[in-house]
Amino acid sequence: MLPPWRAAIEKREPYLHAVCDVSFSIKKGETFALVGESGSGKSTLARAIMGIESAHAGSICFEGHELRGLSKKNYKTIRRDISMMFQDPAGSLSPRLTVKRLITEPFSIHKIKNINIEEEAIRLLQMVGLGEEFLYRYPHQLSGGQARRVGVARALALSPKLLIADEPTAGLDVSVQGEVLNLLLELQQRHGISILIITHNLNVVLHFSDRMAIMYLGRFIEQGSSRGIFQQPHHPYTQALLSSNPEPDPDAIRSQIELKGEVSSNIDRPSGCEFHPRCPTAKDRCGDVVPDESVAERGHTFTCHYPIQVNIP
């Protein structure tokens, strides 16, 4: 049997299908969460929305405007309304620039004039809870939480309508995580920003997002309201994912579901349901037939032949 990489060469596949057939929308002032294991396609999807990665099919629509296929010049205009916070708070900040230069860089990129850069820098720092003393510091002089706040200030400099936050709490202490999330929530409520949050932290998803989608091998296997999915997951993978969430009560009875095997390769995808090699309830049909998307209560969607306790309306 050929290894996956060799099989891909033999088939002469032109692309690695990192994200496939996903569809979702975000309303104004709403928070939508993407959840899944590393390599499931969450960050690739976010980068495609930003135009950093090219989408080879489908549609990316923002306020009625099609983004896929836009020239770099036109995408630059769109980026005034869509901004992104990257995974590594310190690594995304140039070590050669001061905090003042970093957070006011969007004004230079978009050639926004008739503003006082000093006043704008102070305003942005105050907006994220930092003082003027940070203006002339460099990234290596910031803590993880301070670097994340600087990233928030830079992302919100031009008052975007959509903020993409890729792992905004990664690598931060629990107390600092709370501060960053409370800051984002406060700014969202004040300015009506829509947020697409990518995270492994399920507690963040439950308490911070309105709706969520579970990704596996680049596909949405379940999507719906965050509270609805937490209360009643329909896909076995979602159930296993939620069962692994740490429980703060030391006396709570844990019933973690252990998934056997490794995540399959995007290059050599399994037939039928792509989760079936690891699914604890898989049957013969799962390996042969791709499941259709089903709709349960209140628009809750999932793709599984044998879902968990489903009430079809």
Per-residue model confidence as pLDDT tens digits over 80-96: 899 999 888 778 899 99
Domains and CATH numbers, the chain: 23-55+74-214 (3.40.50.300), 217-303 (no CATH)
Q: For residue 3, what pLDDT is reported?
A: 62
DSSP the chain: ---HHHHHHHHT-SS---S-S------TT-EEEEE-STTSSHHHHHHHHHTSS---SS--EETTEE-TT--HHHHHHHTTTEEEE-S-TTTTS-TTS-HHHHHHHHHHHTT--SS-HHHHHHHHHHHTT--GGGTT--GGGS-HHHHHHHHHHHHTTT--SEEEEESTTTT--HHHHHHHHHHHHHHHHHHT-EEEEE-S-HHHHHHH-SEEEEEETTEEEEEEEHHHHHHS--SHHHHHHHHTSPPS-TTSPP-PPPPPS-PPPSSSPPSSSTTTTT-TT--GGGGTSPPPEEE-GGG-EEE-SS-SS----
Residue 5 has pLDDT above 60, yes or no: no
Q: For residue 104, what pLDDT is reported?
A: 95
Lowest-confidence range among 33-42, 99-108, 112-121, 251-260? 251-260
Instruction: Please write the tens of the pLDDT for every residue from 124-147.
Output: 999 998 999 999 999 999 998 899
Q: For residue 16, what pLDDT is reported?
A: 75
Q: For residue 262, what pLDDT is reported?
A: 79
What pTM does this model have? 0.88
